[in-house]
Amino acid sequence: MKMAVRLTDETILSELGQRLERHRIGAALTQAQLAREAGVAKRTLERIESGNGCELTTLIRVLRVLKLLDELDALIPELPSSPIDLLMLQGRKRQRVRSPRLKARVSKTTNSAQTDAEKGVASRGSAWKWGE
């Protein structure tokens, strides 16, 4: 089964558990052996294989024993920096993201003011009221 956005969390956890079970069996390890080598309880491994969640550190321990830790790199690949970002940051690391709503609101206000001025729309002499 291919992981897809439309799948529920429970379906994805179940599929991951089944895959881990197949890898464990392929490595000729019992649940008790894998749990002991990973430093987790056998019941924890049973829950993982049955599709229940676990802590990320527990999953990392199991993947390490099954020699699948290298595959974890594909889960969240490293994002290359664009040349423009490197130039703008001048070697510094980006730490924050500006809210897109604020950015859009500022540009929308600026654009609408320019648009009104370009169209030659005259401003009203009286104050704005509801229902106009």
Task: Name the packing angle between helices 9-26 and 42-49 (round to 10°).
Answer: 120
Alpha-carbon dihedral 115, 118, 120, 126, rounded to 10 degrees:
40
| Domains, the chain, with CATH or none | 9-74 (1.10.260.40)
Q: What is the pLDDT along the chain (132 residues), one digit of tens a residue?
A: 677 778 899 999 999 999 999 999 999 999 999 999 999 999 999 999 999 989 999 999 999 999 999 888 888 887 776 777 767 767 666 566 777 776 555 555 555 555 554 554 445 556 767 776
The token pair that represents 66 in the structure block:
């099954």
Of the candidates 38, 102, 26, 94, which has an alpha carbon nearest to the alpha carbon of residue 69?
38
Report the pLDDT value the prediction gives residue 80, as an integer from 0 to 100. Answer: 73
